[in-house]
Amino acid sequence: MPPFWRFTLGVSVATGVLFGVAPAVQSRFADVMNALKDGNRDGGTAGRHRLRSALITAEVALAVMLVIGAGLLVRTVYNLTRVDAGFDRARMITFSMTLPRSAAEPSGRAAAFQRLLDALRQTPGVQAATAMRHLPFDRLAQRYNTEAEDYTNADGRPVALVDYYQSVMSDYFMTMGIPIVAGRGFAAIDTTSEDRVVIINETLADRLWNGRDPIGQRLRPNMRASVGTSENPWHTVVGVAKDVKEAGVDRDAGAELYLLIDQPGPPVDGTERPWVLTAPTTMNIVLRTSLSAPALAPTLERAVRGVNPSVPVVGLREMDAVFDESIGRPRLLAQLLSTFAGLALLLAVIGTYGVLSFWVSERRREIGIRLAIGATRGNIVALVMKQGLVIASVGLAAGVAGALGLNRLLASMLFGVEATDPSTLATVTASIAVVAALACGLPAWRASRLDPNDVLRVG
């Protein structure tokens, strides 16, 4: 169970126990004879007033803590939606397909995926199409040892850790909307040229060559570890792409290396057999299109059946849906805590209003006497408002102090905002103060409308 869920459950249980036990404790120590003497006049016992005030103060404090937590989580979700993920996910649709291993050799699988892309690019409403091995936002770091020329790590070896290898097909950077910040992207000539090429991201360029020009440098991707081939040929860096948030928008972009699928090369290890990057059986297809996923679904199914009749279209959705899934946990926490905070605030408002209304009804005679001897109706409003706002102010102060004390519990779930964020604290405090003033206003107004003649006649 996440820490804040445990906290919310604990607060709920503690609130129930507190509000259930308090009346029993009060009744145990009640002075029955004095209660019978006092009746309903002159405000009842001071102990009961203090207990009611303490309960409402605690209620306001708990509401403040929950509202502050909800506000911070809402800010977190907003900040996550504003992060630049490194590519343009607007008007983008994706799905995956898996070719049977028995259907074709790796080179045949690459050809099958390419036939599918060619067909999709001819579809009306589709501006671009590509295929990749991994979708962004939910990738685990692979951290492959990768040899690089003109680089030496702390151990004195020319080996660096690369967090992600991404295998892609033609038009990848154009379709994804990933800017090439130096050099060029993959070109059609790269599928027939004997020169093996690779594209890296900005983080990897800085990690390996630290400000020096990476174009023309050579890398030796760890193909044995990543795709299980027997050769690890050298690749020339031809471009540097903008960083993409592969592990999630709340994580730092890791070092990434892009390999072009079906990229042949000259004979390896003295043999006459050229090296070819193995095409995986499962690929994610991405389309940039003006059409919706449901509108394109029949066309996509026909195109996939044209490649292999037994292969289904899996996970057809907008890229925005992929992004929404990646921030699903903080969004759910924000929604749940906002619901609890709203309920707690409603209970605090009702409690404050109820206590003040009861206070006014008990002190009708006193209020009538004050009006009779010259107190203005404004004086009565101020008297009642002061009573309620003192309770609310103490609850606000206790709630803010409690929220600050729980900042370490909140910090691990926040993004782009501190647990002690002044603007959130100020906004919540001001909002609850206004709500408390409104809750106090109606009983105060009703008290100021009392007719002293009627009150004293009855009293």
What are 406's two structure tokens?
A: 């729980």
pLDDT value, residue 103: 55
pLDDT value, residue 41: 46
pLDDT value, residue 97: 93
What are 13's two structure tokens?
A: 């249980």
pLDDT value, residue 290: 92
Burial (Cβ within 10 Å: 0-12, 13-18, ≥19) of residue 189: exposed
- Where do the structural domains in the chain lie, given as residue ranges? 3-83+328-458, 100-310
pLDDT value, residue 33: 46
pLDDT value, residue 66: 92
Residue 277 per-residue DSSP state: P
pLDDT value, residue 367: 78
pLDDT value, residue 2: 56
pLDDT value, residue 158: 87
**Residues of the chain whose pLDDT is less than 50?**
24, 26-43, 272
pLDDT value, residue 36: 42
Compute the Cα dihedral for 205, 244, 265, 195 and give only its sign: negative
103: helix, strand or coil? coil
Q: In whole angstroms, give the CA distance from residue 149 to residue 162.
A: 14
Q: In whole angstroms, give the CA distance from residue 159 to residue 179.
A: 27
pLDDT value, residue 150: 86
pLDDT value, residue 366: 79
